[in-house]
A and B are shown apart, each in its own frame.
Chain A
């Protein structure tokens, strides 16, 4: 169980911890597929991370949920193996595969032992290139997805999330659940699933990272075999999404003792010159968990919530600045007032010198500590590639944090934080809180 806390002590300057000790090589296969590699031969396995850009937002019109259903079916039979044979084979090899899809990305993670790497990656290849999508598997996974959709409809966290996205993005794919609806998923056919795969899983949008017991030559040789048979191109990436948020409160009545709140307004692009100042600003306002202003005021000073956080969310086709918390129905109105007040205070006053220095010290010190496991590092490297970051980013990232000044913070605070534009979606039976009907 977790707890979080606010701190107010004098700034103490300390030497930074060691720099991230990762040596990344870029490997290009004979067939032209690129991957980032960190060799680490101390443990006899390799973690492989594959990403396809576009994610579930590439659902064809009227086929919402097809890509999610397809993703769930990749490990349900491939090549000569039906679902059960495929699973048994993976167990036999002690290979670990996971297939997940989000709004902008499909993420495939694999960990395979050195002693049977060829066979294990052969099995993964089969799932990526020749999944069977057998009718019985489609029905089995469809039933699971329908159950999840049903459960989400009575889960206050999911209701808040779906309502907020609907208000923010309307008909853009970001505006609806990637699971689809009961109706859209019920109507999907095997052909839709096959089409969904070809829309997303193409070589023009693939990112690969490998970390572990493998050499550059070995990796280069296997990339073509693993991925070379995928189609060259997929569906056109989605259009830019208009953020249709306006300031105010939306109440979704739901009979539960604690109200769940999502709030936010438009955010900032990942490659905006002010992204790093915005990132540091948010660290102090509501990021970082333990010591943010929102935690100090909403949790520690008033006990209104167990946890509150805010996040910059730069997606591929839109940017949001979001936050969330949950408070008892009789206290949520007060908590919202506190959030608004903190947003306004930061917008006009920015941060103190001490807050800025503390945030920079934490962010730069914590960064190298992230790089401590094959699977973790592979995930970071694949994420960097799909965000469009250069390989040198790991070396320069802390300098960009260090370079942020109080003037930068003040400028970005004025521009980014707009308390009157905050939309609060409240799911529960909040007392003394009126929605505006949106």
Chain B
């Protein structure tokens, strides 16, 4: 094991992969657009991505979901292209395209034969400044994102639970607002909201071009200058400063019941530092801490205590993803065995953290993790799109190319003492949200 487990939203949170030193070239256009080219000549394929330094955490208050809504509307056409024409052209060239929105970024990508890069840049550059749409397009697409919210969140108690916990975790910072948006605000989003957001943030001086695959950096640069070079920068873009968290002084608890829950669990997150440019050491130690405490059910500290030495839990995990512009979270989850109450599961989680401080880190486990991190650098080369994504995510999260390339060495330098030091620092209940997901509150209290 672990098997497909119980609908916990843990994907992508487990362990940030480091990067092997790749053939990476960078340049910046005169209008401020940055570019990263990652060469990989194994297959005649190129991945073309444009990442904007804007995401859901940059939305105006009251317009939650507008960053993601705009992402949908970016496929509606421009002054030169009809609605849907971009995806049609990508498809006619055997390519695939898509887009994604997070709190810190919005990104668009196409995966095509490497000799189609020219057309991809033409299309992507066209919609950076010249988006057009009809009112009807906007209204129908709003229905689509409302259905998307139903599918991702409202139809899934785990999704609702996660939303409620996050809102409690961030008291002031917009990371507490869901990317998809709160339904009552999504229902009011308008074309003007989308276009205001678009005009302000979609510009070369707020964008990063990433091209990975069977390409030549000089040719990429020439194409970028041709297509993206003429675009006007957006005036008045300032540093991304979001409302910061005040000191968090009170432990928070989220008790969520839903009849659709079959498997209860307890999940706790602690407000935690992220990777900072030039100072990634704390985040690197936290990455180890997550792996040591809850990386594998069979070998982690929490798995050993709760799944093997006792049968308190059927599943445990710890997770931390340090790639974030502002403070992120470190999470723990315990899925109790049949007959174990959530109160007992939470008490067991607390006991594990206490024991960890006294027992410390097993030497053999630490060495295994270190070796695995080195091995990740080898396996990561098999996934060119994954490498491209790491640069995009890093660069939109306040890191530099140098930071991203230094990350494997920073990870490699972590010591057991570093890990114990961050553990002593972050496990403070005043900065934590503890959530119980239950089918029926009364039932749980009686146990």
Say if the beta carbon of A256 comes within 8 Å of chain B: yes
Minimal beta-carbon separation of B195 from chain A (angstroms): 18
Minimal beta-carbon separation of B446 from chain A (angstroms): 19
Cα A47 to Cα B378 with chains together (Å): 12
Minimal beta-carbon separation of A279 from chain B (angstroms): 16
CB of B147 within 8 A of CB of A305, answer yes
CB of B4 within 8 A of CB of A148, answer yes
From A11-19, A226-234, A383-391, the one touching the partner chain is A11-19
Say if the beta carbon of B262 comes within 8 Å of chain A: yes
Given contacts A1-B101, A358-B92, A362-B91, contact A372 B45 (CB under 8 A): yes
CB of A374 within 8 A of CB of B382, answer yes
Say if the beta carbon of A199 comes within 8 Å of chain B: no
A327 cross-chain contacts in B, Cβ below 8 A: 147
Q: Mark B401-439, 1 if CB is under 8 A from A, else 0.
A: 000000000000000000000000000000000000000
CB of B115 within 8 A of CB of A144, answer no
Q: Pick from A18, A72, A83, A291: contact of B88, CB below 8 A.
A: A291
* Beta-carbon nearest neighbor of B139 in chain A: A303
Cα A281 to Cα B320 with chains together (Å): 45
Cα A257 to Cα B160 with chains together (Å): 13
Given contacts A148-B6, A154-B260, contact A304 B368 (CB under 8 A): no
Say if the beta carbon of B216 comes within 8 Å of chain A: no
From A37-45, A167-175, A417-425, the one touching the partner chain is A37-45
Within 8 A of B (CB), among A346-382: 358, 361-362, 364-369, 371-375
Cα A372 to Cα B56 with chains together (Å): 33
CB of A3 within 8 A of CB of B94, answer no
Within 8 A of B (CB), among A1-49: 1-9, 11-12, 14, 16-18, 21, 40, 42-45, 47
Minimal beta-carbon separation of A159 from chain B (angstroms): 10
CB of A150 within 8 A of CB of B99, answer no
B187 cross-chain contacts in A, Cβ below 8 A: none
Say if the beta carbon of A414 comes within 8 Å of chain B: no
Cα A138 to Cα B79 with chains together (Å): 63
Q: Mark B278-321, 1 if CB is under 8 A from A, else 0.
A: 00000000000000000010110000100110010011000000
Q: Pick from A16, A155, A364: contact of B7, CB below 8 A.
A: A155
Q: Pick from B72, B337, B384: contact of A372, CB below 8 A.
A: B384
From A55-63, A88-96, A124-132, A262-270, the one touching the partner chain is A88-96
* Beta-carbon nearest neighbor of A146 in chain B: B338
Cα A43 to Cα B95 with chains together (Å): 26
Given contacts A147-B314, A361-B92, contact A369 B45 (CB under 8 A): yes
* Beta-carbon nearest neighbor of A3 in chain B: B72
Minimal beta-carbon separation of B10 from chain A (angstroms): 15
Minimal beta-carbon separation of A5 from chain B (angstroms): 5
Say if the beta carbon of B148 comes within 8 Å of chain A: yes
Given contacts A94-B372, A258-B147, contact A9 B85 (CB under 8 A): yes
Minimal beta-carbon separation of A98 from chain B (angstroms): 10
A96 cross-chain contacts in B, Cβ below 8 A: 379
Q: Pick from B146, B154, B337, B379: contact of A143, CB below 8 A.
A: B337
Of B85, B100, B298, B378, most A-chain CB atoms within 10 Å: B298
Say if the beta carbon of B364 comes within 8 Å of chain A: yes
CB of B43 within 8 A of CB of A14, answer no
Minimal beta-carbon separation of A438 from chain B (angstroms): 24
CB of B87 within 8 A of CB of A291, answer yes
Say if the beta carbon of B42 comes within 8 Å of chain A: yes
Within 8 A of B (CB), among A59-82: 72, 75-76
A301 cross-chain contacts in B, Cβ below 8 A: 140
Say if the beta carbon of A311 comes within 8 Å of chain B: no
A368 cross-chain contacts in B, Cβ below 8 A: 43-44, 94, 113
Say if the beta carbon of A248 comes within 8 Å of chain B: no
Given contacts A72-B3, A306-B144, A365-B94, contact A91 B372 (CB under 8 A): yes
* Beta-carbon nearest neighbor of B179 in chain A: A1
Minimal beta-carbon separation of B384 from chain A (angstroms): 7
Say if the beta carbon of A341 comes within 8 Å of chain B: no
CB of A12 within 8 A of CB of B89, answer yes
Cα A198 to Cα B209 with chains together (Å): 53
Say if the beta carbon of A153 comes within 8 Å of chain B: yes
Say if the beta carbon of B142 comes within 8 Å of chain A: yes
Say if the beta carbon of A202 comes within 8 Å of chain B: no
CB of A91 within 8 A of CB of B369, answer yes
B315 cross-chain contacts in A, Cβ below 8 A: 144, 147
B383 cross-chain contacts in A, Cβ below 8 A: 373
Say if the beta carbon of B166 comes within 8 Å of chain A: no
Say if the beta carbon of A140 comes within 8 Å of chain B: yes
Say if the beta carbon of B75 comes within 8 Å of chain A: yes
A155 cross-chain contacts in B, Cβ below 8 A: 7, 260
CB of B155 within 8 A of CB of A257, answer yes
Of B43, B112, B148, B304, most A-chain CB atoms within 10 Å: B43
CB of B140 within 8 A of CB of A302, answer yes
Say if the beta carbon of A426 comes within 8 Å of chain B: no
Say if the beta carbon of B261 comes within 8 Å of chain A: yes
Say if the beta carbon of A326 comes within 8 Å of chain B: yes
CB of B298 within 8 A of CB of A84, answer yes
Given contacts A1-B68, A144-B3, contact A369 B148 (CB under 8 A): no
Within 8 A of A (CB), among B6-20: 6-7
Say if the beta carbon of B143 comes within 8 Å of chain A: yes
CB of B299 within 8 A of CB of A111, answer no
What are 23 A-B contacts defined by CB distance under 8 Å?
A2-B98, A16-B94, A18-B113, A76-B298, A87-B299, A91-B296, A91-B368, A113-B378, A145-B3, A147-B314, A150-B262, A256-B260, A258-B151, A290-B91, A291-B88, A291-B91, A306-B145, A362-B91, A362-B92, A365-B93, A365-B94, A365-B113, A372-B43
Q: A72-B3, A290-B91 given; name 9 further pairs at CB < 8 Å.
A: A5-B83, A42-B42, A84-B308, A91-B368, A256-B154, A305-B147, A306-B144, A368-B113, A369-B113
Identify the B interface with A (CB < 8 A).
1-7, 42-45, 68, 71-72, 75, 82-85, 87-89, 91-101, 111-113, 115-116, 139-148, 150-151, 154-155, 179-180, 259-263, 296, 298-299, 304, 307-308, 311, 314-315, 335, 337-338, 364-365, 368-369, 371-372, 374-376, 378-379, 381-384
Identify the A interface with B (CB < 8 A).
1-9, 11-12, 14, 16-18, 21, 40, 42-45, 47, 72, 75-76, 83-84, 86-88, 91-92, 94, 96, 111, 113, 139-141, 143-148, 150-151, 153-156, 255-258, 260, 288, 290-291, 299-307, 326-328, 358, 361-362, 364-369, 371-375
Chain A to chain B: the 6 pairs with minimum beta-carbon distance, closest first: A365-B94, A303-B143, A7-B88, A17-B113, A94-B375, A87-B298
